[in-house]
Amino acid sequence: MISCSDYDYFEIVCMFHYPITLSLRNGEELTGVAVDLCRDEQKNECIQLNVDGTTKQILLTQITKLTVTVANPHFYEKQFN
């Protein structure tokens, strides 16, 4: 579970469909367009990311860093614990 203030960053990138890079706890990095927030079959909070035309669901709790890869008035990067 993530905090409400952290969740706000994910809502912003989905609302504006920003291109983003996600750094994951396992060291992997994914780059794509933020689509929407959802829950998986186990009711875990996820972000839907369009990566080269394929939609992937990424658990929010597995994300260590969110980077917006386009200039915007909101934020550039957010680190998560």
Whole-angstrom distance, CA of residue 34 vs CA of residue 19: 6
Alpha helices in 1-81 (DSSP H): 4-15
Quote the pLDDT of residue 72.
96
Specify the pLDDT at position 42: 97
Whole-angstrom Cα distance, residue 63 to residue 77? 12
Residue 1: its pLDDT value, please?
Answer: 80
Distance CA 44, CA 61 (A): 9
pLDDT number for residue 10: 98
Whether domain 4-79 has CATH 2.30.30.100: the reply is yes
pTM of the model: 0.94
CB atoms within 10 A of CB 76: 11
| Sequence spans of domains, the chain | 4-79
CB 20 within 8 A of CB 35: no
Q: What are the pLDDT tens digits along the chain (81 aa)? A: 899 999 999 999 999 999 999 999 999 999 999 999 999 999 999 999 999 999 999 999 999 999 999 999 999 999 998
